[in-house]
Amino acid sequence: MFSTEYKYKPGRSNLSGARPDAKGVNFSIFTRHASSVELFLFESAKSEEPFQVIKLEKEINRTFYSWHVYVLGLPKDTWYTWRIDGPNEPKEAGLHFDKDKHLIDPWARVVCDINWNRQAACEPGDNMLTSMRCMVVDDDAYDWEGDKPLRISSEKSIIYELHVVGFTRHKSSNVKNPGTFSGLIEKIPYLKKLGITHVELLPIMAFDEQDAPKGTIDLGLKNYWGYSTHSFFSPHPGYCVTPAQGTHVTEFRDLVKALHNANLGIILDVVYNHTAEAGSDGPIINFRGIGENIFYHHAIDDKSILHDYTGCGNTVNANHPLVCSFITSSLEYWVREMHVDGFRFDLASALARGEGGVVLQDPPVLWSIELSEQLSQTKLIAEAWDAAGLYQVGSFPGHRWAEWNGKYRDVIREFLRGDRGKTKELATRISGSSDLYQHQDGLPINSVNFITCHDGFTLNDLFSYNEKHNEANGEENRDGCNNNLSNNCGVEGPTDNLDILELRKKQAKNAFTLLLLSEGVPMMLAGDEILNSQNGNNNGYCQDNEITWIDWDMMNQNADMLRFVQNMITLRKRHSSIMRRRFLTGNIIEERGIKDISWHGKKIDQPLWDDPNNQLLAFTLAGIGEPDIHVIINLSDQQTLCELPEIKGKVWCLSVNTAENSPYDIIRRPNQILMKDKTFMVDEKSIVVFENADM
């Protein structure tokens, strides 16, 4: 039971958010220009009236720019909002104080949006009944059972990008609580059997599902991907089984602990480049109501105009000292209190911008993250570009940041669709992209290699569609990327033509073979291993339905593809020559008497680097204490007879041939086929892999 009136005292300013202890709760919020601050306390997330309103006094409850109060005896599960007044001077000062708006705490550990109405937060008037609410949470009240973040080395990592809902919502998923952290726990045995080492979750920090274009909302769609964060310390309520009870922290921790028990790491896709408050006509949720002029980039002459380097209406002023501290503290919280193993930063180049949008050589926020002791063992992955044209692949500030290698994606797609004269760049990309990273003392593990991700075609659709088909998004097919570098193999979309279906599957196997044979860190999109399709939609950001949900019946329909991917992952794991931490040199390894890597064409040691029509590349990787590997990639339309290298005391065995059907497309030892000839006929548009053994 809640008291009708709790006593309170000034409290402390240095404890941001709501911090409970044995005697009560300390509340503190930073708001530099506020003239009055009120704290509203509610019994539940649905309460129509607060049970107490505490009006803070400037002379008592303010220290420097923080307002604070300690409420004696207040229960830990109390819900609350802030209401703050101050100057409303958007043009002159970039301030949007509104005394009628109920704000959520930027430092809140739990936020509930059960009553949320985005439009009401955009319009004048009191929105108490339709605002989000925060809950006081005791972070220490959880039994981790000895769990700690994992320390899986990057060169041994295989990342699997998935959406919590998309992975578990389809009726075929057969989980108890579809679309939740709990549902994902039930799918861990599948992830373990697949062989990946880390899941990378699309945004799970609390975001606004109502943040989407009007035409999209009118169709009953919503912000599904989650790139619209408003609360950077709270798990998303929509992914919880009982969000109105404030179980967010416990449910997310249960997921992390279960993944770690299976020796699977967890990487969070995080969105610090913009927030759900959008442009100048967006809602007042939190940052805008406490100090917009600090948290966002503004035009110099008219501060009502927000600079937009993200395509989402606003850009976070990440290199302001307060915001820099906020971002770093948020990341440290997710590692320290939630035990996550890494982060992938959406449009990370936006974080490299200073005042006026100037690109900084040494952005304080990026170095703060890199040099944080608490984050020192945490994986940091940058999407090294932003929506305003800044492209930093190979030049992202910092040293240990890995990058989504967009150049890898593009050349692999080009080569697979049949583009000619790409073998030189292909060789550079599959050997770790030394041209991008070695000159600045980088490593192959700085490159996160991917061919598909959530944004764009699935792997199945990459070989089934030449054009995007996004009409269902309500934007007349204007949204989404037009440059997909795809090839439909002869027919746009579904077909009954068995030859085309066979070619599409072979191309999918080719893609996985290249990805898993490449130096660097491979990342695959969930569902690609069972040829999941989005019907040609390459921008499923708003489709919380069967367009984006994984149909688990495809596991049976494409069991041969799933088997191939599982075995390719196993092949990668047994060859440290593929999982190198340092770049290949092309020099002879003394203890073996052969080069660490040798490049070939149809003939040994004769790669056709300068042939503008060439579509074939072969290479040999030397093993130390393990078999050597020889790979022949033939994306031409012709069968090609290729020489096999001779290595003293060794004989080649055929391991992979993507032209064959299961189970002969990938063969485990000791059933591999012994090569008696010195040549091998490689089928058109296929890849073969050989492993050798002692004679």
| Contact indicator for 496, 444 with CB cutoff of 8 Å | no
Q: Which of 35, 52, 55 is nearest to 43 (CA)?
A: 52
d(CA 50, CA 226): 30
Residue with tokens 């490689």: 682
d(CA 111, CA 230): 10
Residue with tokens 């896709």: 269
Q: Which of 309, 247, 238, 237 is nearest to 272 (CA)?
A: 309
Cβ-based burial of 298 (10 A; exposed 0-12, middle 13-18, buried ≥19): buried
176-193: b or e for each residue (b if 16 or more CB lie within 10 Å)? ebbbbbbbbbbbbeebee
Q: Which of 666, 677, 413, 434 is nearest to 561 (CA)?
A: 666
Which regions of 576-649 does DSSP assign to beta strands (E)?
588-589, 594-595, 597-600, 616-621, 629-634, 640-643
DSSP code string of 3-70: -S---EE---SSS-EEEEETTEEEEEEE-TT-SEEEEEEESSTT-SS-SEEEEEPHHHHEETTEEEEE
Amino acid at 389: G
Q: Which is the catalytic residue, given 161, 383, 461, 596?
A: 383
Q: Is 346 annotated as catalytic?
A: yes
d(CA 346, CA 334): 17
| Contact indicator for 29, 96 with CB cutoff of 8 Å | no
| Contact indicator for 646, 689 with CB cutoff of 8 Å | no
204-229: b or e for each residue (b if 16 or more CB lie within 10 Å)? bbbbbbbbbeeebbeeebbbbbbbbb
Q: Which is the catalytic residue, given 277, 346, 386, 628?
A: 346
Q: Tokens standing for 464?
A: 């089934």
Q: Which of 317, 285, 447 is nearest to 381 (CA)?
A: 447
Amino acid at 624: I
Secondary element (H or E) of residue 414: helix 406-417
Residue with tokens 């919380």: 544
Pairing of strands 342-345, 265-270: parallel
d(CA 393, CA 384): 5
| Contact indicator for 81, 35 with CB cutoff of 8 Å | no
Residue with tokens 């296929």: 686
489: left (phi over 0), alpha (psi -120 to 50) or beta: left
Looking at residue 360, what DSSP letter applies? Answer: P
Amino acid at 298: H
Catalytic annotation, residues:
346, 383
